A and B are shown apart, each in its own frame.
Chain A
């Protein structure tokens, strides 16, 4: 007797949902099986990046495309792709290039919106986590934590701990209208808040020469120099 493997398994890997499936089953069966976990996820699956991994079973690209279209239609997921080729077989030359090229042409179409916007006061002992950018319309109190894969923007006082660009996005910034943090982390770098920061003016912290530096947002806005509006 063999142990029955579930035909579809779902787990979160990095910033995407990794689905291991048995591609030898017919497409219709797979779709039915996929519905089960995604129905449970509800809105959490919206705009999520999904990776369909046929595992050891062989699957052609058309099956992945078919299932991807199905998931996008029914559960509004973001980009669906096969597993990264590098892990299994070396990627055929040109394929990766074509993909990044497509992204560069019209990035808006492929923009997956996983920015979290919340309103209110985050109090001591409370923790807010966002997969990418985090916007808080309110204050982050001392003892509270904000963690984001991208930028953290606090439209209020930032007095707690803010960790942006987790785990390794060194371009992330922390912006606050009143920046007096306990601690700021960007990617793997940590800076302790100092009492010297005056607050009461919009400031932002970013990574410069492996150090977290704070600057007046209105005076030293690093984004002013960009030639063209781009998606963060």
Chain B
């Protein structure tokens, strides 16, 4: 059976696309799937650093597309997780070196070789974005609970629909304390504006910063909230679409829940 190519995109930069790609890739691989994570941010690669594989790069995705090497030669096996492979971006080229038709060819190869291929899309909606979504089967839109991120995600969702891809939403970096105080958008507001299927809510977690600096996958850290959330997203992508989305705001006390049911409004 052919694998799936999933593009991870957001429009805005710095919302956690690369972390999401690496984490979901690792989680899927831990569930026994053959996974490739592909860095499409040509010229500004960093998925290799987040995964701690920067010193092993010999070939990159541009070499594959230009047929200087085979796909298997460019795929770097992860240090800790079997079945997880990184196809790094080139650091010296720019995005226009790959054409959309190259991507159709590349994605065909990826589908044949892997169960899941996650494409880490660059920020923006220019050539790099167009390349990344060109031949993708599915899309994950990463959005943080900020107005600017929501607006960019909305734009990207429009472009994905125009490309006949139905995107799914991950709300990243939720800080329940701020949401409770009313200083941060709640994920309900975000979903309300974007109105696409929600596939996961990820809480802000300091462990993510540590893990991306050390190259240890966050999903292997048992006590990390973000890690757990990524594991659940991976399960939802892999045959358990009905697994309920855990609400990070759900730590309400018993009495407050009763209060909510009775229609008592929270003080604003």
Contacts and interface: CB of A to CB of B under 8 A. Distances in A.
B173 interface: no
16 contacts: A123-B155, A123-B158, A124-B151, A124-B152, A124-B154, A124-B155, A125-B154, A125-B155, A125-B158, A126-B158, A139-B193, A141-B193, A142-B151, A142-B193, A143-B151, A143-B154
Nearest to A138: B195
Interface string A115-148: 0000001011110000000000001011110000
Interface of B: 147, 150-152, 154-155, 157-159, 193, 195
Contacts of A163: none
Contact of B158 (A124, A139, A142, A159): A124
Interface string A138-172: 01011110000000000000010000000000000
Contacts of B195: 121, 139
A142 B155 contact: no
A48 B250 CA distance: 56
Most chain B CB neighbours (cut-off 10 Å) among A123, A125, A141, A159: A123
Interface of A: 121, 123-126, 139, 141-144, 159
A176 to B, nearest CB: 15
Contacts of A144: 154
A121 B195 CA distance: 9
Given A142-B147, A142-B150, A159 B193 contact: yes
Main secondary structure of the interface of A (DSSP, over half): loop
A182 B182 CA distance: 20
A121 B191 CA distance: 13
A178 to B, nearest CB: 10
A143 B195 CA distance: 15
B67 to A, nearest CB: 36
A123 B155 CA distance: 6
Contacts of B157: 123
B185 to A, nearest CB: 11
| Closest 4 pairs between A and B when the two form their complex, measured CB to CB | A123-B158, A124-B154, A125-B155, A124-B155
A121 B154 CA distance: 10
Nearest to A122: B158
Nearest to A141: B154
B174 to A, nearest CB: 19
A210 B155 CA distance: 34
